């Protein structure tokens, strides 16, 4: 029993790793690869960034994604490729173009954050991503630098595409792909004692039914923190993330079926096409590092009152397909949440798919996230409003909010104020005023109860502006300075 992966071009087999071992801990403490740093150990700083490689859909190339190694279970990289900062330099010791650009543009001072920036930028370099300011802000939102300042790092990011080199990684690609292909063909296996990552839906369902007490993980961007922060240890971990059907997203004429283990990074382009306002919010959910691992199924499984996607699912009247053993049942997202972090999932049951409607011309969705920082911050309030407008009159309004109650919850009084009203500011002012009948929010470290109610009302009024095609908001992209 061993976790098998390609690390910096070499096959590694880690026998008998404990199921709760995190990739970063193993890299630093067992493999001696201390270039990858530990800062926060909770996915917030990016010091631990590594690239995880998997074949593209057609199998002809490697797709590298930057992830937080601190909260990634070691067993989750079984059958994949991992690249750390030590694997970037050429065989002759030449710096990789990304490293060269950072040196040339003075993008590092103390250097603690630098390996993380290098690895995030490497994945962007590899995919030949755009280097405009808005794109780079998105790409780098999960990497924090305390001393250099971001301008030199952005300069390096803009310049890295023009630096020659990095060819040894392209040369390794066919061999790595062939190795991953062989492993993929071997089917289900338990890489570590107590860590199972089934490759088929039936095997997953059978396993979870047999071991209902196992910790289920997808991207582990919540569950990983239970290990690194709460110091929990698990005897049995089951990853849902390797089942192809759970990672798939199918776009139909009327609806979209999203596998519970599809990452937000994979969901984002679909949301841009089908629900642009949802996509704008997704870009602010965590960082790209988080979105490369995190899933909708994980958001549902955590059932946090501040899970950002949950109010959107309520507003869109999503249907969840749940599976236990051979049996499936469908439930409305609204019925899924029972109490604070409590869902109607039975032991051994898991979320298989989420079904969302595509919207016709007359149906509008608006999503607003209120948080202290623009990127990478947990919401104080998340508002999602969906309604139909015909002859400038509102019908079928669905208003749902996060951060306002123990569970993500609809707002019946606000909905009643909107139903049948003309599409104008008065309707949304009335709906905002009705919110105090819908919610009695708590005061906590993120916001006071009064602030939450006020902000929720402002979200409704902004939704009203947006539906009337007169959005009132600051530009998403900061004003360009010094370029």
Ligand X SMILES: Cc1cc2nc3c(=O)[nH]c(=O)nc-3n(C[C@H](O)[C@H](O)[C@H](O)COP(=O)(O)OP(=O)(O)OC[C@H]3O[C@@H](n4cnc5c(N)ncnc54)[C@H](O)[C@@H]3O)c2cc1C
Binding site for ligand FES (CB under 6 A): 38-41, 43-48, 68, 70, 108-114, 145-148
- Return the residue of 53, 79, 298, 397 that touches ligand X, per CB under 6 A: 298
Q: Out of ligand X, ligand FES, none, which partner does residue 146 contact, by CB within 5 to 8 A per kind?
A: ligand FES
Separation of first and last alpha carbons in the chain: 54
Q: Rule CB under 6 A: is residue 350 a binding residue for ligand X?
A: yes
Q: Rule CB under 6 A: is residue 285 a binding residue for ligand X?
A: yes
Q: Rule CB under 6 A: is residue 295 a binding residue for ligand X?
A: yes
Q: How far is the CB of 124 from ligand FES (least distance, A)?
A: 18
Q: Rule CB under 6 A: is residue 308 a binding residue for ligand X?
A: yes
- Return the residue of 75, 87, 97, 219 that touches ligand X, per CB under 6 A: 219
Please choose, out of 122-130, 300-308, 408-416, 429-437, the segment that lies near ligand X by the rule CB under 6 A. 300-308
Q: Out of ligand FES, ligand X, none, which partner does residue 148 contact, by CB within 5 to 8 A per kind?
A: ligand FES
Q: How far is the CB of 341 from ligand FES (least distance, A)?
A: 23
Q: Report the 10 Å Cβ neighbour count for 290.
A: 23
Q: Out of ligand X, ligand FES, none, which partner does residue 70 contact, by CB within 5 to 8 A per kind?
A: ligand FES
Q: Which is nearer to ligand FES, 111 or 412 (CB)?
A: 111
Q: Out of ligand FES, ligand X, none, which partner does residue 297 contact, by CB within 5 to 8 A per kind?
A: ligand X
Q: How far is the CB of 430 from ligand X (least distance, A)?
A: 29
Q: Which is nearer to ligand X, 177 or 216 (CB)?
A: 216
Q: Which is nearer to ligand X, 44 or 334 (CB)?
A: 44
Stretch 251-270: interaction string toward ligand X, x if CB under 6 A: ---------x----------
- Return the residue of 221, 228, 277, 292 that touches ligand X, per CB under 6 A: 221
Please choose, out of 112-120, 180-188, 214-222, 268-276, the segment that lies near ligand X by the rule CB under 6 A. 214-222
Q: How far is the CB of 301 from ligand X (least distance, A)?
A: 2
Q: Which is nearer to ligand FES, 150 or 465 (CB)?
A: 150
Q: Out of ligand X, ligand FES, none, which partner does residue 307 contact, by CB within 5 to 8 A per kind?
A: ligand X
State the residues that interact with ligand X by CB under 6 A. Answer: 42-44, 216-223, 240, 260, 285-286, 290, 293-295, 297-299, 301-302, 307-308, 345, 350-351, 376, 378
């Amino acid at each position: 029993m061993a976790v098998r992966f390609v690390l910096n071009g070499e096959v590694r087999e880690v026998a008998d790793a404990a199921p709760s071992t995190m990739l970063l801990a193993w890299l630093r403490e067992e493999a001696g690869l201390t270039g990858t740093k530990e800062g926060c150990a909770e996915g917030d700083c990016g010091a631990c960034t590594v690239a995880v490689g998997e074949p593209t859909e057609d199998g002809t190339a490697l797709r590298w994604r930057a992830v937080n190694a601190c909260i990634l279970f070691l067993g989750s990289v079984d059958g994949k490729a991992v690249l750390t900062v030590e694997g970037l330099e050429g065989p002759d010791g030449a710096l990789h173009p990304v490293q060269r650009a950072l040196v040339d543009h003075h993008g590092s001072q103390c250097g603690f954050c630098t390996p993380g920036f290098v690895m995030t930028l490497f994945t962007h370099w590899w995919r030949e991503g755009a280097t405009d300011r808005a794109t780079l802000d998105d790409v780098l939102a999960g990497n924090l630098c305390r001393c250099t300042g971001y301008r030199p790092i952005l300069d390096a990011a803009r310049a890295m595409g023009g630096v020659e080199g990095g060819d040894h990684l392209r040369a390794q690609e066919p061999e790595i792909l062939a190795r991953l292909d062989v492993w993929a063909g071997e089917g289900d296996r338990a890489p570590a004692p107590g860590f199972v990552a089934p490759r088929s839906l039936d095997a997953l369902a059978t396993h979870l039914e047999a071991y209902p007490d196992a910790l289920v993980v997808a991207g582990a961007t919540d569950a990983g923190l239970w290990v690194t922060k709460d110091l929990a240890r698990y005897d049995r971990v089951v990853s849902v993330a390797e089942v192809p059907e759970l990672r798939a997203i199918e776009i139909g004429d009327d609806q979209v079926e999203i596998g519970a283990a599809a990452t937000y990074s994979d969901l984002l382009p679909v949301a841009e096409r089908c629900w642009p306002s949802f996509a704008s919010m997704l870009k602010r959910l965590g960082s790209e590092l988080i979105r490369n691992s995190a899933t909708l199924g994980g958001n549902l499984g955590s059932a946090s009152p501040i899970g950002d996607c949950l109010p959107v699912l309520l507003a869109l009247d999503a249907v969840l397909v749940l599976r236990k053993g051979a049996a499936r049942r469908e439930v409305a997202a609204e019925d899924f949440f029972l109490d604070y972090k409590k869902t109607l999932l039975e032991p051994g049951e898991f979320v298989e798919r989420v079904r969302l409607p595509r919207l016709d011309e007359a149906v509008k969705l608006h999503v607003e996230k209120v948080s202290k920082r623009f990127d990478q911050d947990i919401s104080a309030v998340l508002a999602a409003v969906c309604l139909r407008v015909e002859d400038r009159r509102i019908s079928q309004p669905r208003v749902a909010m996060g951060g306002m109650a123990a569970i993500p919850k609809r707002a019946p009084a606000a909905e009643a104020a909107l139903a049948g009203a003309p599409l104008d500011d008065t309707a949304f002012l009335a709906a905002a005023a009705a919110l105090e009948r819908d919610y009695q929010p708590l005061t906590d470290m993120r916001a006071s109860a009064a602030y939450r109610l006020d902000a929720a009302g402002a979200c409704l009024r902004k939704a009203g502006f947006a539906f009337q095609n007169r959005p009132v908001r600051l530009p998403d992209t900061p004003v360009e300075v010094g370029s």
